[in-house]
Amino acid sequence: MKMKKKIAWSDYMTYIGVTIAFVIVSFLKKGGALNRSQLGLLVPICAYITMAISLNLTVGILGELSLGHAGFMSIGAFSGIIAAMSLVNVIPYDGVRMAIAMVVGAVMAGIFGFFIGIPVLRLRGDYLAIVTLAFGEIIKEILTCLIVGVDAEGLHILINIDGSKTASDLNLLEGGKAIIKGAQGAVGTKTIASFTAGYILIMISLIIILNLIRSRSGRAIMAIRDNRIAAESVGIEITKYKMMAFVTSAAIAGAAGALYGLNYSSLAAAKFDFNTSILVLVFVVLGGLGNIWGSIVAATVLYILPEALRSFADYRMLMYAIVLIVVMLATNSSKAKDLLDKLKPAGKEEEQ
Amino acid sequence: MSFTFERGKLAAVPSGSVIPERDLDKTPILETRHLGIDFGGLHAVQDFNLTIGRTEIAGLIGPNGAGKTTVFNLLTKVYQPTRGTILLDGMDTAGKTTEQINRMGIARTFQNIRLFNNLSVEDNVKIGLHNQKSYSMLAGILRLPSYWKQEKAAHERALALLSIFEMQDMADVRAGSLPYGAQRRLEIVRALATSPSVLLLDEPAAGMNPSETAELMETIVTIRDIFQIAIVLIEHDMSLVMNICEGICVLNFGQVIAKGSPEEIQANPAVIEAYLGRKKEE
Ligand SMILES: Nc1ncnc2c1ncn2[C@@H]1O[C@H](COP(=O)(O)OP(=O)(O)OP(=O)(O)O)[C@@H](O)[C@H]1O
Ligand SMILES: [Mg+2]
């Protein structure tokens, strides 16, 4: 019955759980126990965990279905890449540039979140879902037209709408460098994303979201989710708190995008399509709406699974589907829920 | 029901309402003038004039579908009136939103309970305290001293408010899993948390057993005495209405058919007909 103590406890368990996982994996990495493909998964997993917990803020905590979360991720990825690449000669420390890139990615995605939120948050339910879906696709198309380069004079940006322009139209000075080449996306990116940066990003995102939920603003957001009319009747400004949740969610997704983008030497905007938005939504739904720890576990397991099943070759997608179904059954049946609650005394229940 | 309490002397005011004499020398806390709303062709509420004294317990009664809940929805701007004005403490509330109205001093409960079901009882009350607290989102995330200070105060205030109904032991229970009567009581506590000057209760005793109702009756009076606020209640339970209400207003088909003290209302032929007439129809 004592919900509150359990809540505080479950927050700490989440931080501790993530930290333990980070320490163990770091040791495995140092000890050479991970092969190249496993090492390659570490940063993307961190990025997708962050995506899942940030989307959970919109879907689980605010209670609005968003189908365009990958759009914010792509804004963060590309603005983060531009920031990191244009600072290559200015700031020699990779870690510092990585941090700046994540902040820039978060701010840019947050700004977009705000302007998209103005029309979108007036809508409800299905309509909001459809518009966010459209937004994700529009962002993808716009980023596909983007050509960006940097030289001694600073940044050069072209929007290649008719498809006639190429990176050479940037007319960069000697020593300049194209960072983003339209449909090809970001090319020649110096990969500075690290597992440690991923861990730090997850922890910061967790602190933001968990502390928000336990605060006055977070309660207002959940009040809107549970009963909008009652929330209004006790004097809560619906638009303000919806916007707060939406922008925070977008900003965190932007930071995750920057982490993800700076993990690859080349990255096309097409990567952040509808499927990516849905993938993240699947993590959130299967992990449990409003359940942050669930999002972390679901993102990790479901991201690793297809890779782990590579040896099964043809049966890979079948296995994936079976696991999805099993997870869905497990999270839906009340008996399984009770069982999970017993296994995990600090988890789940209080979020329902 | 043995509960009795000293009802103040009533006095008539120009709107035709009666309010307690003790409130006469102050601006009425709530006043409506020619208030009306149409839903398509239906005149759900017409020419509704009511004055509520600052410490009055007033009753709004009438058969099903008379327009009682609609009046509450008009007062709280869930619906914008088609006609008429609403004065809250002498101030016109035209153009205000539901959320602004609450901050101006009207709090309410709902006929179909509307709690924040997935949150704890305490959190429901703390959400009612939302505008009494002021620390920012950032202070909350960074857990600055203002967060700890105000959260501690909110916790204590929430428990104090819950103790009005002796619900402090249920603070950590999920609101949605409370028994029906407790849910109704929690709605009242949440409304009180917003520190209103007028409390609107829409069928607070619905679904309660007689002993719960009797207890509720006493608590409503206690609330008025402690907080010195006006309470307007819609209720079908006539023993409750006649026991604790001072001025009563009767609606039928969107129109006021009688106003007065409980004794006057009970003796009013139009009221009797409205209620008996309904019985015949059924
Ligand atoms: N949003 C609306 N749109 C159309 N008609 C409405 C709306 N709200 C209420 N009405 C109608 O207005 C009339 C008054 O309804 P209201 O809910 O105010 O009645 P009530 O007096 O509260 O009845 P009850 O005792 O059953 O709660 C009814 O005929 C109802 O159908
Ligand atoms: Mg009603």
pLDDT digit string, tens, across residues B151-168: 999 999 999 999 999 999
DSSP string, A29-96: HHTT-S-HHHHHHHHHHHHHHHHHHHHHIIIIIS----S-HHHHHHHHHHHHHHHHHHTTTT---HHH
Which of these CATH numbers, 1.10.3470, 1.10.4030, 3.40.50, 3.40.1010, describes A2-343? 1.10.3470
- Disruptive mutation site among B122, B130, B198 for chain A (greatest number of A CBs within 10 Å): B130
Residues framing ligand 1 (Cβ under 6 A): B 39, 42, 44, 62, 64-70, 111
Give the nearest partner residue to B116 out of A223, A237, A244, using CB atoms.
Answer: A223
* R_g (Cα) of chain A, nearest Å: 21
Rounded (10°) CA dihedral A332, A333, A339, A341: 40
Instruction: Tell me phi and psi for residue B156, to 5 degrees.
Output: -65, -40
Q: Measured between alpha carbons, how far is A25 from A34 in angstroms, rounded to an integer?
A: 9
Q: Is the dihedral of CA A154, A160, A161, A162 positive or negative?
A: positive
* Mean pLDDT by groups of 10 residues along chain B of 282 residues: 66 85 88 95 94 95 95 96 95 95 97 95 97 94 96 96 95 94 96 97 94 94 95 94 94 94 92 71 44
Reported as a pLDDT band with limits 50, 70 and 90, residue A316 is low
In the prediction, which pLDDT does A348 show? 34
Contact between A289 and A65 (Cβ < 8 Å): no
Give B116's DSSP letter: -
User: CB-CB: which of B98, B108, B140 is closest to A215?
Assistant: B140
Q: What is the spatial order of strands in the sheet that B91-92 belongs to?
A: B42-52, B30-39, B83-88, B91-92
Topology of the domain comprising B23-115+196-275: Rossmann fold (3.40.50)
How many Å apart are CA A273 and CA A74, to the nearest integer?
Answer: 9
* Residue A315: exposure state from Cβ atoms within 10 A (0-12, 13-18, ≥19): exposed
ipTM for this model: 0.92
Check CB contact of A230 with chain B, cutoff 8 Å: yes
C-alpha to C-alpha distance for A246 and A248, rounded to whole angstroms: 6
pLDDT by residue (tens digit) across A266-315? 999 999 998 899 889 888 888 888 889 999 999 998 888 877 776 666 66
Q: Tell me how far apart the alpha carbons of residues A326 and B87 are, in angstroms, rounded to a whole number.
A: 59
Q: Give the predicted TM-score (pTM) of the model.
A: 0.89
Are the beta carbons of B69 and B111 closer than 8 angstroms?
Answer: yes
Considering chain A, what is the average pLDDT of its residues? Answer: 86
- Provide, as residue numbers in chain B, all residues whose Cβ is less than 8 Å from the Cβ of A238: 99
Which DSSP letter does residue A173 get?
P
pLDDT in tens, B218-247: 999 999 999 999 999 999 999 999 999 999
Range(s) of chain B covered by CATH 3.40.50.300 = 23-115+196-275
Tokens representing residue B60 in the block = 């709004």
Q: Which residues of A touch B195 (CB under 8 A)?
A: none
Note the pLDDT tens digit of each residue in A55-84: 999 999 998 888 899 999 999 999 999 999
- Kindly list the distances between the CA atom of residue B217 and the CA atoms of A158, A200, A299, B185, B200, in Å, as whole numbers in the listed order: 72, 56, 53, 12, 14
Token pair 């977008």 in the structure block, residue:
A250
